[in-house]
Amino acid sequence: MNTTETAAVSVPTGRLVGTTIIAIGCGTPDGEVNNGFAAAIGFLREGAKVCIVDRDPRALDEATRALAEAAAADGEPDRDTGADRVPGTGVHLGGVDLDSQLTTVVADVGDEGSLAAAFAHCADRLGGPTVLHYNVGIVVNGGVDELDTDGFRRALDINLTGAFSSIKHALPHMRAAGHGSIITVSSVGGMRYMGYDYPAYAASKAGLIELTKVVGAQYASEGIRANSIAPGLIETPLIHRSISGHYGSVEEMLAARHAQSPTGKMGRPEDVADLAVFLASGESAYINSTLIPVDGGLTHYAGMPKR
């Protein structure tokens, strides 16, 4: 599906060995690589123990299957079959021990009880999480004059309140450890108008950005950091489902979004995942309460003709 050029795959360094990460919204219902699944792959490659949480059991089954197939192969990856690589990524998983590093659990961020159970499951199987990766988001389309109040609230409940609840459950584990990193995935759509009529999505992501910053500031003295990643024009399965209807065809959407980027092409889920891995690691120990766009310069680009 991804039409962008293939970037070099980084070599894992083991910088997350000894770290337990709860990765919410990081399954893959279609076996395709989205921002969340790409982050889970990155965490595992760097040695972390990862609890993938998703509300869709199929998304967890597909994630587990894809990871198991890649991790089961030995030696050099087969160039023809892609064995020893996660399908669609070129990522090598030969050194990952899924039996000790991975667990999954079904939970809905809108259900406080299931969310609490997910954190308990993670702590029981892998140890208390010291990194929370919140990659949950829905797009509710419709302008203010079209959208009903229930639709607006739904976007807030999942994109913003779900993050609040997840952070609330993560904090005790981080406090017990004396350190922690909270990573939320927001959007440049929460920073500026992107040309799509989805004020509910924009408002919820803008709120998520500020929630993240405030949490980081409040708990910094306890060794807990919180930062938000704002993806820009990233080619993911979500854009095919949620915004392709704004265009005459999928091909038109892809061409328009490539052209809209200052770099001339959309980014990849792995671009977002690389930053997530960095923020989960000790390499980002003094980065806190900030928003980092992964957008090829889009948020600073006025769209004036290039010379």
Set out the domains of the chain in order of their start, with CATH numbers. 20-296 (3.40.50.720)
Say which of 201, 247, 286, 301 is annotated catalytic: 201
Mean pLDDT, rounded, for 98-106: 97
Least-confidence region, from 62-66, 126-130, 248-252: 248-252
Annotated active-site residue 193? The verdict is: no
pLDDT digits (tens, 9 = 90+) for 157-173: 999 999 999 999 999 99
Task: Output the pLDDT for position 184.
Answer: 98
Across the range 80-97, mean pLDDT stands at 60
Average of pLDDT values for 111-130?
97
Work out the number of other CB atoms within 10 angstroms of the CB of residue 95: 11
Residue 72 scores a pLDDT above 70? yes
Q: Is the separation of the CB atoms in 34 and 238 below 8 Å?
A: yes
Q: How many CB atoms lie within 10 A of CB 74?
A: 8
**What integer pLDDT is reported at residue 307 of this predicted model?**
52
For every residue of the chain, DSSP letters joined together read: ---SPPPPPPPP--TTTT-EEEEET---TTS---HHHHHHHHHHHTT-EEEEEES-HHHHHHHHHHHHHHHH--SSPPTTT-TTEETTTTEE-TT--HHHHEEEEE--TT-HHHHHHHHHHHHHHH---SEEEE---------TTT--HHHHHHHHIIIIIHHHHHHHHHHHHHHHHT-EEEEEE--GGGTS--SS--HHHHHHHHHHHHHHHHHHHHHGGGTEEEEEEEE-SB--HHHHHHTGGGSSSHHHHHHHHHHHSTTSS-B-HHHHHHHHHHHHSGGGTT--SEEEEESTTGGG---PPP-
- Look at residue 88 and tell me whether its pLDDT is greater than 80: no
**pLDDT tens digits for range 210-225:** 999 999 999 999 999 9
Section 187-211 average pLDDT = 93
The answer to which of 21-25, 213-217, 248-252, 299-303 has the lowest mean pLDDT is: 299-303
- Cα 131-135-139 angle, rounded to 5 deg: 160
Mean pLDDT of the chain: 88
Q: In this predicted structure, which of 22-26, 78-82, 261-265, 290-294 has the lowest mean pLDDT?
A: 78-82
The owner of tokens 């920073």 is 191
pLDDT at 91: 60
